[in-house]
Homo-oligomer: A and B are copies of this chain.
Amino acid sequence: MTDLLVFNVGELVTNDPARDGLLGVVAGGAVAIVDERVAWVGEEIGLPEPYRGLPRLDAGGAAVLPGFVDAHTHLVFAGDRSDEFDRRLRGETYEEILAAGGGIHSTVAATRAAAEDELFDEAAVRAWRMLTNGTTTVEIKSGYGLDLETEARMLRVANRIGRDLPIDVVSTFLGAHVVPLSHRAERDAYVDLICGPMLDACAPLARFCDVFCDEAAFTVAEARRILEAAQRHGLGLRLHADQLGRVGAASLAADLSAASADHLDHATDTDLEELRAAGTAAVLLPAVSFSMRLPYPDGRRIWDSGVTVALATDCNPGTAHVESMPFVVALAALHMGLTTDEAIWAATLGGATSLGLADRGAVVPGSVGDLVLLDAPSRLQIPYRPDADIVAAVAKRGTVL
């Protein structure tokens, strides 16, 4: 079934700038999907005759949103770090955990040891949970391989998620996630490896290249080398920027016209102005603040700077094992100073914009037929019921899951 008529929609969020308000909400709306794409949107009373015979889904007065676009995840990994997470809650520092063989390097070891099918099976479970929470497009990064073979394997797994599951995947090469233990004494050799053989092997498997440019990660100079090499391989650019401290990563993202600068906990007004001018989106990740008990990035200030804001889960085994975009929207509205409507926009059209996808994040003729039906008459229930299974149904390219 690639045709679908969703009717009896209490509140339809279109994100159509031609309609009123930030979200272009239509009351008493309907959406017609033909051949996986939105063909018609409007008040149900005006539904054209040709669409009346489509297979029907009665929304029962519920709110309907565009499918969520989760623009920053580390969905593919092996291993379980809940024990380490518990030790952090009990007061152990990340440095102590790293010294005891934990932290990101334990995920790298587990991921390197995992067979490709194993990685796929684990990631597919998480992707299905994302789908049931309304995510219809997900960005997935490599970055737990830190060697050519495993980085390429992670990207193949990410792409297979998009082929085998009803979710669209955008893959990002993140060989520069952290300097691997093997290269601690020879950072330059690792950067060389990335810029040479790893990009040769991984660029064909990815749409973007990302670098963790921060204190204790890659320097601005290293990040620039890697990103410029990635550009030569035809990849778009993303950047883990200024999460732990202000090292100038946001500024670098703007200078390279990156598609996105992510985290931005320490970005200054000047940084934001540079991002805005460059058309670089800000991808904000409140679940990390929640899980790590850190201050939230100032979403209000970032939104007001005029930068395009996206929200994402950052789903990863260390700092935010979070899969639900409604939960992220709730966190942003409750704790980051965005309004509920701004948070919803950032979790849909903002995410799509940051990924350079013009055909989703909105419900307008021509866009992909990805819809989320809430278990609620109003979108305002997303932060009101932060623990709820707020998603009642999901349509992916016109197919009800």
Contacts and interface: CB of A to CB of B under 8 A. Distances in A.
A301 interface: no
A384 B340 contact: no
Nearest to A324: B387
Interface residues of A, number: 36
Given A85-B380, A327-B386, 11 more contacts: A82-B378, A82-B380, A86-B340, A89-B333, A89-B334, A291-B384, A293-B334, A321-B381, A322-B386, A323-B385, A389-B389
A85 B133 CA distance: 22
A82 B384 contact: yes
A226 B321 CA distance: 47
Given A321-B384, A327-B387, A380-B83, A89 B293 contact: no
Contacts of A388: 129, 321, 323-324
A322 B387 contact: yes
A335 interface: yes
A333 B339 CA distance: 27
Given A82-B378, A334-B290, A334-B291, A89 B383 contact: yes
Interface in A366-400: 376-378, 380-381, 383-389
Contacts of A133: 387
Contacts of A293: 334-335
A346 B86 CA distance: 17
A89 B340 contact: yes
Contacts of A290: 334, 386
A85 B387 contact: no
A70 to B, nearest CB: 12
Interface string A345-371: 000000000000000000000000000
A387 B323 contact: yes
Contacts of A321: 381, 384-385, 388
A333 B291 CA distance: 10
Contacts of A324: 387-388
A291 B382 CA distance: 12
Contacts of A383: 85-86, 89
18 contacts: A80-B381, A81-B384, A82-B378, A82-B380, A82-B381, A82-B384, A85-B380, A85-B384, A86-B383, A89-B339, A129-B388, A133-B387, A287-B387, A291-B384, A321-B384, A323-B387, A327-B386, A389-B389
